Amino acid sequence: MDHKKKLDELKNRLREVNDLRSAGAVLAWDQMTYMPEGGAPARGRQMATMARIAQEKLIDPAIGKLLDDLRPHEESLPFDDDDASLVRVARRDYERATRVPPEFMARFNEHQVESYQAWATARPADDFAKTTPHLEKTLDFSRELADYFPGYDHIADPLIDFADTGMKAASVRALFADLRAAQVPVVQAILAQEPANDSCIRRHFPEREQMAFCEDVVRAIGYDFQRGRLDKTHHPFTITFSTGDVRITTRVREDYLGECLFSNIHEAGHALYEQGSDPKYDGTPLAGGASAGVHESQSRLWENIVGRSRGFWEFFLPKLKKVFPDQLRGVSLDAFHRAINKVERSLIRTDADEVTYNLHIMLRFEFELALLEGSLAVRDLPEAWRERFQADLGIAPPDDKDGVLQDVHWYDGTIGGVFQGYTLGNVMGAQFYQAALKAHPEIPQEIGRGKFDTLHAWLVENIYRHGRKYTAPELVRRVTGADISITPYIQYLRAKYGDLYTL
Amino acid sequence: MDHKKKLDELKNRLREVNDLRSAGAVLAWDQMTYMPEGGAPARGRQMATMARIAQEKLIDPAIGKLLDDLRPHEESLPFDDDDASLVRVARRDYERATRVPPEFMARFNEHQVESYQAWATARPADDFAKTTPHLEKTLDFSRELADYFPGYDHIADPLIDFADTGMKAASVRALFADLRAAQVPVVQAILAQEPANDSCIRRHFPEREQMAFCEDVVRAIGYDFQRGRLDKTHHPFTITFSTGDVRITTRVREDYLGECLFSNIHEAGHALYEQGSDPKYDGTPLAGGASAGVHESQSRLWENIVGRSRGFWEFFLPKLKKVFPDQLRGVSLDAFHRAINKVERSLIRTDADEVTYNLHIMLRFEFELALLEGSLAVRDLPEAWRERFQADLGIAPPDDKDGVLQDVHWYDGTIGGVFQGYTLGNVMGAQFYQAALKAHPEIPQEIGRGKFDTLHAWLVENIYRHGRKYTAPELVRRVTGADISITPYIQYLRAKYGDLYTL
């Protein structure tokens, strides 16, 4: 068999894995949108079966053999050749899947289900103690998982690498230390001032009109409804079945305009990335996004840098006023811009504004490292959480429900590698946007005229079309000519909030 | 391994097949309801992958070995024991799947796709000649398929057995000959009379109100919306993902009340059957319906025997008039009952009324046998079609588009075994209903009061809960104490239409 045939064989096998996962994704989407209650028990089983068979197909030694056989061919090609990249990325996926014994994953998954169930009742009851034995076991499992990838510098490295390939505890820690040093003074300066008045977005906004407006907004920024759709769910999400079918969901609060609007733009940002992946990668390991962080860079770029900019509302506020003339009568562009960028102390990560958000993430990241290192015990988490909150944000949660119990992540997944992507996303988003502005300084003016295609096309060309070909560090270097850096983000924050507050 | 362990192993393997097929069904449902256009290419591939892997898992020799090993255990149990039935039905499925070489099925499927595509352009162009070579090939493939099941009396027998297990060409032919002899005089007597006036259901009925009313109707007859949902599609259908999730779809014509209403009741009839399958069969080969014919018996029983009865509208017409007061002002129960039971000469099977419908089916069934026997050539089909239509229905199609090209069945499937189920359904539906009346003579009065639970519970107890445990002939014997017989159907037809027309 020559390498052409072997490559085809590899692609066919991986396409099968992809189809099983895509089918699982359709089942998940249906479960969260239209499935009747009675469908739940069988659906859980069906999704588990899809995931299991996909995994069995992926770890087939025949794939390992093909990857070995293709190595000389891969090495004869340039790094960014499509075939070379496919083999490289497939090998990474294959090694991740095969190094971990299936019986370990089965035990871990079983534990995760139990742990999630404990959390689901413990959170409303504000009963952290109930989750302690589960979290301790999760910590053991997470360490064991990491140990299947020996040779790490820090035990969190393999876990971080799963979500943000190419990043390590040390590199993220260093980046976050700098970010913290630069960002905390901005937060403190703002929080010392009179808070913005956001009453204009907290009036009564009927759902139907909100949904129609949001649909117009995401269409305007480039979300393609021929290759996607928008539905309502309890939690907003983006899900991909193929480059031609990338769906988003949202939720609506009639007493708060920000919910539907910004969650829509956020999810549309993820979806633009997935819709922009080169169609020829469809069904291969190269389809999708580079990393959790790069994905988040796109949702946050569109949501915050574009969607909460003054220029964006220069164009959209008059349209929004036509939809809600009574609610928004007399609201100036400045007042609206201040309202949607209100900065405040908040307990809940998912409600946090753009300025304080990274503080929520960084404390979680540091706790993950400390837990894995053994320098923090699970039982001491609530107290550490309160102390750190007080120090960073000037408030402490009155209970664990809105403290350490608020996120599902540690309770249904691993401890380690879970949170860094959100802040890496903010950082890389600003860095990418700066590069786009360097190439096209007219972008902010265009946004003010409701024109998004220059920015969108630049992102497609430089980021989206490459799918999973490059890791985040590779992509950032390729796009910006530099390593991941906090400077553009801090510059962006200082400039934007310097206009809104006295810094 | 004892038989308990082997049975569990068999169930686990078959559950996997079931989960893959259910996932394929969810993908199909999504494709026909909410999928954006751009999703089509990948979706076709994903569905094909699900079907292929399900087939590979089903024909695994390990299943054959388990079935062999379990034979002594099966034979030690009563025929209708659940375990014995599971092994029996699983063996039937396994033998069907394994006797046909995968390479033959691959070639046949490839041909079916080409043939379908030829039909899809030939039908609007009224170009039967274009489909001739495809149909001839389909006939060869159908014969070859049948030959993988040697020992038949008639070459159509294996094909009939796929859809209506336990039935053969000879038994269906005999039944249809009797039916024809009894039914044609009824048809001719009615068609000689003044046609019913159905103008009252051909006014303007807005979609939203029609959909809401139909939802109320199917809920009233017992369709469980906790375990299903109703959506709009181009062609109505019922689809099952599990006993807890059986969905129906409908379509609406604003200028014709009958479309949405009766297609809804029809599909709800199929769905009541699937929802009524014993939940403990979920994910096993015993879940589902006994045969194409028994399935159709339930859709037709609910649509025609119940849904087009005078009693049904005694209850529902006043409610319908509240929804459409202007459109239905002054329409009497008798006039409405006559309108929804209008008998007329029609070219298109799917538009045919209850009385002429079987004539449409029987001619197709006979053509299938004649084609397989070689006594009719594909090229002579259009002429045979016209002649037979003229003889049976007193009209001949002016073109092939609304003649031999009207149904997709032969063009995307086999020739043989395709149509008999529709008429068997009409026959068995009446037979089952007669048995229900014998047990509960109060059912017609209850229907007049909008009470359907006695009938529904009887059907669940005697038919639905058994799923695929019995073949159609076994089930009919068990439920009615007799073999499949046309007598109840002809009695029903004579009684009902004797009230509406002079017979």
Three-state SS across B28-55? HHHHHHCCCHHHHHHHHHHHHHHHHHHH
**Average pLDDT for residues A7-27, to the nearest whole number?**
98
**Using a CB-CB distance cutoff of 8 angstroms, which residues of chain B are in contact with residue A38?**
224, 226-228, 243-245
**Interface test mutation site (partner B, options A43, A218, A240, A249, max chain B beta carbons within 10 A):** A43
Q: Is residue B49 part of a domain?
A: yes
Q: What pLDDT shows up at residue A1?
A: 60
Residue in B with minimal Cα distance to A225: B36
**A58 and chain B in contact, CB less than 8 A:** no
- pLDDT tens-digit profile of A461-491? 999 999 999 999 999 999 999 999 999 999 9
Residue in B with minimal Cα distance to A46: B19
**A53 and chain B in contact, CB less than 8 A:** yes
DSSP symbol at A125: T
Q: Is residue B118 part of a domain?
A: no
Q: What pLDDT shows up at residue B1?
A: 60
Residue in B with minimal Cα distance to A246: B39
Q: Is residue B173 part of a domain?
A: no
CA-based nearest distance B23→chain A, Å: 7
Average per-residue pLDDT for chain B: 97
CB contact under 8 A, B53 and A20: yes
- CA angle centred on A465, ends A459 and A471, rounded to 5°: 90
* Element (DSSP H or E) covering residue A220: helix A207-221
Question: Of the residues A84, A99, A114, which one is the last residue of a structural domain?
Answer: A99
Looking at the fold, whether A304 and A438 belong to one and the same domain comes out as yes
CB-CB contact of B403 with B382 (8 Å)? yes
Q: Which CATH number covers residue A298?
A: 1.10.1370.30
CB contact under 8 A, B37 and A282: no
**Average pLDDT for residues A11-40, to the nearest whole number?**
97
- CA angle centred on B393, ends B390 and B399, rounded to 5°: 50
CB contact under 8 A, A241 and B20: no
- pLDDT tens-digit profile of B245-303? 999 999 999 999 999 999 999 999 999 999 999 999 999 999 999 999 999 999 999 99
CB contact under 8 A, B225 and A36: yes
User: How many interface pairs between A and B have CB atoms less than 8 angstroms apart?
Assistant: 134
DSSP symbol at B306: I
Which residues 31-50 in chain A show a CB within 8 A of chain B?
34-43, 45-46, 49-50
**Using a CB-CB distance cutoff of 8 angstroms, which residues of chain A are in contact with residue B38?**
224, 226-228, 242-245
Q: In percent, how much of chain A has pLDDT > 70?
A: 100
What are the catalytic residues of A? 267
* Domain boundaries, position A241: 199-346+421-500
CB-CB contact of A364 with A381 (8 Å)? no
CA-based nearest distance A217→chain B, Å: 19
CB-CB contact of B229 with B394 (8 Å)? no
Tell me, what's the ipTM?
A: 0.94
Q: Quick check: A9 pLDDT over 80?
A: yes
**Interface test mutation site (partner A, options B33, B242, B247, max chain A beta carbons within 10 A):** B242
Q: Which two tokens stand for residue B417?
A: 């075994």
Amino acid code (one letter) for B199: S
Looking at the fold, whether A224 and A94 belong to one and the same domain comes out as no
**Using a CB-CB distance cutoff of 8 angstroms, which residues of chain B are in contact with residue A15?**
45, 49
**Average pLDDT for residues B415-437, to the nearest whole number?**
98
**Average pLDDT for residues A95-105, to the nearest whole number?**
94
d(CA B378, CA B389): 17
CB-CB contact of A331 with A205 (8 Å)? no
Residues facing residue A253 across a β-bridge? A256
Find the DSSP H helices in B157-254: 157-163, 169-191, 207-221
Q: What pLDDT shows up at residue A51?
A: 94
Q: Find tokens 């906790």 and name the residue.
A: B226
CB contact under 8 A, B245 and A23: no
3-state secondary structure A294-312: HHHHHHHHHHHHHCCCHHH
Torsion (CA) B261, B264, B269, B271 in degrees, nearest 10: -160
Name which of A307, A314, A294 is nearest A260 in CA terms. A307
Catalytic option among B259, B267, B296, B354: B267
Total domains in the fold of chain A = 2
CB contact under 8 A, A42 and B282: yes
Chain centroid to CA B97: 22
- Give buried/exposed letters for A410-419 (b at 16+ CB in 10 A, else e): bbebbbbbbb
CA-based nearest distance A39→chain B, Å: 5
**Interface test mutation site (partner A, options B21, B34, B46, max chain A beta carbons within 10 A):** B46
CB contact under 8 A, A38 and B282: no
d(CA B389, CA B395): 6
CB-CB contact of A251 with A262 (8 Å)? no
Name which of A466, A382, A379 is nearest A133 in CA terms. A379
- CA angle centred on A469, ends A465 and A475, rounded to 5°: 80
3-state secondary structure B335-355: HHHHHCCCCCCCCCHHHCCCC
Find the DSSP H helices in B394-442: 409-412, 420-439
Local structure of A36: helix, strand or coil: coil
CB contact under 8 A, A41 and B242: yes
Q: Is residue A110 part of a domain?
A: no
d(CA A213, CA A209): 6
Average per-residue pLDDT for chain A: 97
- Among A41, A229, A245, the residue with its CB nearest the CB of B42 is A245
Q: Find tokens 């960084």 and name the residue.
A: A362
d(CA A287, CA A467): 5
Local structure of A172: helix, strand or coil: helix
**Interface test mutation site (partner A, options B12, B18, B20, B26, max chain A beta carbons within 10 A):** B26
Q: Quick check: A433 pLDDT over 80?
A: yes
Q: What pLDDT shows up at residue A364?
A: 97
Q: What pLDDT shows up at residue B101?
A: 93
CA-based nearest distance A282→chain B, Å: 8
Residue in A with minimal Cα distance to B40: A244
CB contact under 8 A, B241 and A39: yes
Question: Of the residues A68, A99, A130, which one is the last residue of a structural domain?
Answer: A99
CB contact under 8 A, A42 and B224: no
Q: What pLDDT shows up at residue B2?
A: 87
CB contact under 8 A, B39 and A15: no
Q: Which two tokens stand for residue A502?
A: 């006295």
Non-local CB neighbours of B443 within 8 Å, separated by 6+ positions: B436, B437, B454, B455
Rounded (to 5) percent helix, strand, coil in chain B: 70, 5, 30
B418: left (phi over 0), alpha (psi -120 to 50) or beta: alpha
- pLDDT tens-digit profile of A380-410? 999 999 999 999 889 999 999 999 999 999 9
**Using a CB-CB distance cutoff of 8 angstroms, which residues of chain B are in contact with residue A245?**
35-36, 38-39, 42-43
**Average pLDDT for residues A79-84, to the nearest whole number?**
97
CA-based nearest distance B53→chain A, Å: 9
Residues facing residue A83 across a β-bridge? none
Q: Is residue A24 part of a domain?
A: yes
CA-based nearest distance A230→chain B, Å: 10
Non-local CB neighbours of A131 within 8 Å, separated by 6+ positions: A115, A118, A119, A122, A405, A411
Q: Is residue B209 part of a domain?
A: no
- pLDDT tens-digit profile of B360-402? 999 999 999 999 999 999 999 999 999 999 998 899 999 999 9
CB contact under 8 A, B23 and A22: no
Q: Which two tokens stand for residue A465?
A: 């079309």
**B219 and chain A in contact, CB less than 8 A:** no
Pairing state between β B238-242 and B245-250: antiparallel
CB contact under 8 A, A227 and B26: no
* Element (DSSP H or E) covering residue A4: helix A3-33
Q: How many CA atoms lie within 13 A of A299 on its CB side?
A: 26
- pLDDT tens-digit profile of B223-237? 999 999 999 999 999
Give the length of chain B.
503
CB-CB contact of A340 with A108 (8 Å)? no
Looking at the fold, whether A95 and A203 belong to one and the same domain comes out as no
Q: Which two tokens stand for residue A348?
A: 């809940």
What is the torsional sign of CA A426, A432, A437, A438?
positive
**Using a CB-CB distance cutoff of 8 angstroms, which residues of chain B are in contact with residue A36?**
225-229, 244-245, 247
Residues facing residue B253 across a β-bridge? B256
Which residues 282-341 in chain B show a CB within 8 A of chain A?
282-283
**Using a CB-CB distance cutoff of 8 angstroms, which residues of chain B are in contact with residue A23?**
23-24, 26-27, 46, 49-50
Local structure of A247: helix, strand or coil: strand
- CA angle centred on A106, ends A101 and A109, rounded to 5°: 125
Neighbours of B37 (CB within 10 A): 10
**Average pLDDT for residues A225-253, to the nearest whole number?**
97
- pLDDT tens-digit profile of A289-346? 999 999 999 999 999 999 999 999 999 999 999 999 999 999 999 999 999 999 999 9
Q: Quick check: B454 pLDDT over 80?
A: yes
Q: Is residue B17 part of a domain?
A: yes
Query: Exposed, middle or buried, A301 (CB in 10 Å: 0-12/13-18/19+)?
Result: buried
d(CA A97, CA A162): 11
Q: Quick check: A65 pLDDT over 70?
A: yes
Looking at the fold, whether A323 and A454 belong to one and the same domain comes out as yes
Chain centroid to CA B216: 23
Q: Quick check: B320 pLDDT over 80?
A: yes
Chain centroid to CA A345: 22
Q: Predicted confidence band at A2 (pLDDT cuts at 50, 70, 90)? A: confident
CB contact under 8 A, A42 and B283: yes
Residues facing residue A256 across a β-bridge? A253
- Among B27, B39, B245, the residue with its CB nearest the CB of A42 is B245
**Interface test mutation site (partner A, options B225, B229, B241, max chain A beta carbons within 10 A):** B241
CB contact under 8 A, B43 and A282: no
Q: What pLDDT shows up at residue B475?
A: 98
Question: Of the residues A99, A132, A149, which one is the last residue of a structural domain?
Answer: A99
CB contact under 8 A, A41 and B244: yes
**Average pLDDT for residues B182-207, to the nearest whole number?**
96
Name which of B304, B265, B264, B267 is nearest B496 in CA terms. B304
Q: In percent, how much of chain A has pLDDT > 90?
A: 98
What's the start-to-end Cα distance of chain A, in Å?
66
Name which of B426, B305, B432, B301 is nearest B358 in CA terms. B426
Q: Is residue A361 part of a domain?
A: no
**What are the backbone angles phi and psi of residue B5, rounded to the nearest 5°?**
-65, -40
